[in-house]
Structures are given as structure tokens and as C-alpha cells.
Structure 1
Amino acid sequence: MEPSHSALIVTIPEAEPVVGAHRERLDTAASWGVPAHVTVLYPFLPPGRLDQRVLGTLSRVAAGVPAFFVRLERLGWFGDRVVWLAPEPAEPFQQLTAAIMGRFPGVRPYEGAFDDVVPHLTIGHDHPAPALTAAGEAIEAHLPIRSRVDTLRLITGRPRPGGSWLTRALFPLG
């Protein structure tokens, strides 16, 4: 089945051993095959529009943002429905999002659903609060998680159970 959506993410492989089992139970994107990550821009362009011009533009944007180190050291919540890890510093993720939006002005994070986009690594969502709280508490015992961010990843897939999201391209940061 052809992909229907694309996303730009930064994977955090060092987080996978700590958050992986919780995400499998509590984060729908994990069931789609999406690894532990911080979203830079979702949805991005329809997969049919991901031509060489778009890929070249993404490559230049990524090269303009220096690689950086990030720490995941505290939990955050969106209401009582989403538990997540806060990346510090958050600014490089915001810089990547802003730079991409500047080159693709019709693309808005989460289709403009939120006034402020907060960089985060989702642990779980839309499950009973006690399950989300327990996952967050279990993860806190293993913080901080440190990672070097040096690549922007373009993935494509279908946002539905059993959907398989695959990496379409990798773009090194500067």
C-alpha cells in the first residue's frame, strides 16, 4: 500500500532502550514502526510531491543547522492525555522547523492545530492517566538520556494501525 503522509523527524536512538516498551503500549506511532523521535514537521508534503527539488531543499536546510547535543531529562504533559520527554535545548528543533517552514510556507506543523509547537519525544497518549503516569515514573528513573543530533530524517507511511513508516531520506546537519 502506497504511503499517504510524510514527516520530518530527528530520531533519538539512545532513548529507545528506556522508552521503547512504553511507546509500544502507549504511543500509536510506535505501532506504525516510527522509532523514538522528536518531530520537526508533521505532516510534511504528500509523498507524491517529494521530488529531487524538495529533497535538495531539505538537504540545504539541514546543512544550515549545526549538529548539536541534546538531553532528555524531564517529563512534560499536554493536559492529562499526553506524556512526553522534553529535549534540552529545544531551540535547535525549533530552528529546524522554522527553517523548513520558511522554504515550504504552505506546510504548518500539525496542520496549524496548535499555536505553539513544543519539541517533545512522545512516550504515550490517549490512554488512562494512571497508565501514562506509571510509564513516566518508570522512565524518570533512567534520566537523563543524552544524544548527539546530526541527522534530519524524512519518513513516509500511512497513519493507521499496522502502517509501515519507512525512511525516505537522511539529511546531515551542518
Structure 2
Amino acid sequence: MLRGLEIIVGMTAIPDAPSPVLTRSALIVPVPSAEPVVGRHRRIMDRSAVGGVPAHVTVLYPFIPPSEIDETVIEAVAEVLRDVPAFDCTFAEVDWFGDHLVWLRPDPDLRFRELTNAVWERFPVHRPYAGVHDPVPHLTVGDAQLADLSTLRRVAEEIATELPITARIDEVRLMAGAYEPDSWRSLATFPLVGE
């Protein structure tokens, strides 16, 4: 029994609109309280936002190919997260990866690291960021693929004046999508238990 777990089994299609083939999946922690501060910037400067992914901290990406996600996978993720408590965090600092990605640092970040490590331990083939980058907990605001450095710097300065953002972290969401606008969809939501 998957108590409290919401699994999305169907999607509402737009009539006459071709559905994109879902090619990627991710486990994320949505941060809705960040949307008023970063949402308008992310929709222009973050590929995941263009794809339909809300403001978030990544738990594990890339995850299992969507075509391989079944009830067994959902149950395994639910088992990993079953006793994980909800927690509060603050985003009070703007940071950078080099000069190409501006992001918000969660404090504390240990709980996000623990989430990533727990899921990665259960699914060891799926390394965070395919092993290309260290799994540093962060909330992406924008990257140099969609905005020039001067724009990123201006946005970083603007957002810094609107911090801190407080957030209650109470769910992990499994999403899947493609490299197409508005293609990402929620497949399952895993509630974190209250403290």
C-alpha cells in the first residue's frame, strides 16, 4: 500500500496537439514559495522552466528513462522516501557555477544531499547529473545557454534584494519530459512525513 502517494496515470491532452515523446525523467523537490521571486526569470533563462518544471531543487537527474518507469520503480522510490521527514529551509544566497549558471543556495543543504544519496543508493546506475557534475543542492535561476552573462548578473543582483525565501519541503515529485517547451509532466508525488 502506497499511503499518501499520488500517481498520475493519465494526462489531459490538448486536442490536435501532438504529445511529445517523454525521453527524460527527474526526481525533484518543488519549491513553490520561490516562484514569485524567480519564476519570471526562470521562464526565460532556465531550460527546465521552459519545459514546464517548477522552481525546484533536484534530487536525482537524469533518472530512469520514462519508458522504463513502472509500478515497481514507483514503489521503490516510495520505500526510500517513506520515513523521510518534511523540513524547512531558507534560500538566502545567490551563487554561481562558474560564470554560466546562477542559482540559489538552500540552507541547510544537508537534507537535500541526504535525499539524493538515499535515492542514488537505491538506484546506483543513475548517478546524479550522469557523473558530469557534483550533486550540489541548488535552485537554478538561469544559465548561459539562454541568457548572456550581463543579463544573468543583472538578474542575480535583482533577486538578491528579494531574499530570503523560506520553504517547507514536504514532497518529492517524479517528473518526465523532453527537450520541448511545456513537455514535462508529473508522474508521481511522494509526500514527506511531518516532523
Q: TM-score, normalised by structure 2?
A: 0.85
- 161-170 vs 89-98, which deviates more? 161-170
What is the deviation of 1:43? 0.5
Is contact 1:65–1:92 with CA below 8 Å preserved after alignment?
Answer: no
Distance 1:173 1:26, change over 3 A: same
> Which runs of structure 2 are paired with 1:74-89 in the superposition (5 Å)?
74-89=93-108
| 2:140 paired with 1:109 | no
String of CA shifts for 1:10-42, please: whole Å, max 9, x gaps: 010000011011111211111101110001111
Q: Is the 8 A contact 1:23 1:123 kept in 2?
A: yes
Give a deviation string over 1:95-127, Cα, whole Å, max 9, x none.
01100111111110111102x211000000012
> In the alignment, does 2:158 pair up with 1:138?
yes
Deviations 1:109-163 (A, max 9, x none): 111102x2110000000122110011111111111000100100000110x2325
Q: Which residue of 2 aligns with 1:57?
A: 76
Find the aligned partners of 1:145 and 1:57 in 2 and give their Cα distance. 32
Structure 1 stretches of at least 4 aligned residues deviating more than 2 Å after TM superposition: none
Specify the SS of the correspondent of 1:171: strand
Counterpart of 1:138, as a letter, is E
How far does residue 2 in structure 1 lie from its aligned partner after superposition?
Answer: 2.3
Matched, 1:123 2:116: no
1:161 equivalent to 2:177? Answer no
SS of equivalent residue, structure 1 residue 7? strand
% identical aligned pairs: 47
Q: Is 1:35 equivalent to 2:58 in the alignment?
A: no
3-state DSSP of counterpart to 1:77: strand
Partner Cα distance (2:45, 2:106) in 1: 20
Give 2:75's aligned amino acid. Answer: G
1:20 and 2:39 are equivalent in the alignment? yes
Secondary structure of 1:130 counterpart: helix
| Unaligned residue ranges in structure 1 (runs of 5+) | none
Partner-residue secondary structure (3-state), 2:54: coil
User: SS of the counterpart of 2:84?
Assistant: coil
Tell me the residue number matched to 2:6: none
2:167 to 124, 129, 147: 147
Aligned residue pairs, count: 172
Q: CA RMSD in A?
A: 1.0
- Taking structure 1 as the reference length, the TM-score comes to 0.95
